Amino acid sequence: MRTRLIGLLSVPLAAVLLGGCTPGHEDLREWMAQQQRQMVPKVTPISEPKQFVPLAYTQSDAADPFSAERLTQALRRESGVGGSGAALIAPELNRRKEPLEAYPLDVMAMLGSLDRGGQRVALVRVDKLLYQVRVGDYLGQNYGKVMQISEAGVGLREIVQDAAGEWIERNAELQLQEKKQ
């Protein structure tokens, strides 16, 4: 019964509320139009963008950032002294890299060795390709120079940086890989 009474009272109440929206409020509409005409937006103009002037690169005016001499000088400055560490790395930076220096030692496998004209040659596999390696060749990414070749492996001398940033020599070995069955 209560819901029915509320339903009956809501209809006349809605009619009274909607009666306020009749077209008799011309003064209100006039005031809104006047306010709209008086409202002028204030937009500050943005400044013109600066003209971009590209600079031409001239190789003759600039130093080569990739030169070995600059790297050696920077290494000497960082270490504080021009000691034996810089002397170790300087010859390595001035020589041409060999193909097997592009790969780390852990992706190489020594498959065997043989004698060629009284000189021992190691057979090293990298990416399904077989290479002949002799004493004096370079392997790996740490300036590894082949010092000896035996039936059991290849002995290398690498030049690496220690914790203090000094270049030091260390020995490494690429051992003969046993055939997996």
How far, in Å, CA of 178 to CA of 172, rounded? 19
Assess if residue 158 is contained within a domain: yes
Same domain membership, residue 78 and residue 144: no
Assess if residue 171 is contained within a domain: yes
Residue 148 contacts residue 139 (beta carbons within 8 Å): no
Assess if residue 140 is contained within a domain: yes
Same domain membership, residue 152 and residue 106: yes
Assess if residue 26 is contained within a domain: no
Same domain membership, residue 160 and residue 91: no
Going 75 to 77 to 78 to 83, the CA torsion angle's sign is positive
Assess if residue 19 is contained within a domain: no
pLDDT, position 112:
92
Same domain membership, residue 84 and residue 143: no
pLDDT, position 14:
65
Same domain membership, residue 159 and residue 112: yes
Assess if residue 84 is contained within a domain: yes
Question: Which residues constitute the domain of residue 81?
Answer: 65-95
How far, in Å, CA of 106 to CA of 141, rounded? 10
Residues of the chain with pLDDT under 50: 81-82, 181
Assess if residue 14 is contained within a domain: no
Q: At CA 137, angle to CA 136 and CA 138, rounded to 5?
A: 120
pLDDT, position 134:
93
pLDDT, position 26:
87
Q: Both tokens of residue 56? A: 């031409």
Assess if residue 47 is contained within a domain: no
- Residue 113 CB coordination number (10 Å): 20
Q: What CATH code is carried by the domain that includes residue 135?
A: 2.30.30.830
| DSSP code per residue over 96-133 | PPPGGGGS-GGG-EEEEEEEETTEEEEEEEETTEEEEE
Per residue in 112-124, pLDDT (tens digit) is: 999 888 899 999 9
Per residue in 42-59, pLDDT (tens digit) is: 888 899 989 988 887 777
- Residue 108 CB coordination number (10 Å): 19
pLDDT, position 64:
74
Which of these, 61, 132, 144, lies nearest to 104 by C-alpha position?
144
Which of these, 107, 76, 78, lies nearest to 93 by C-alpha position?
76
pTM over cut 0.85? no
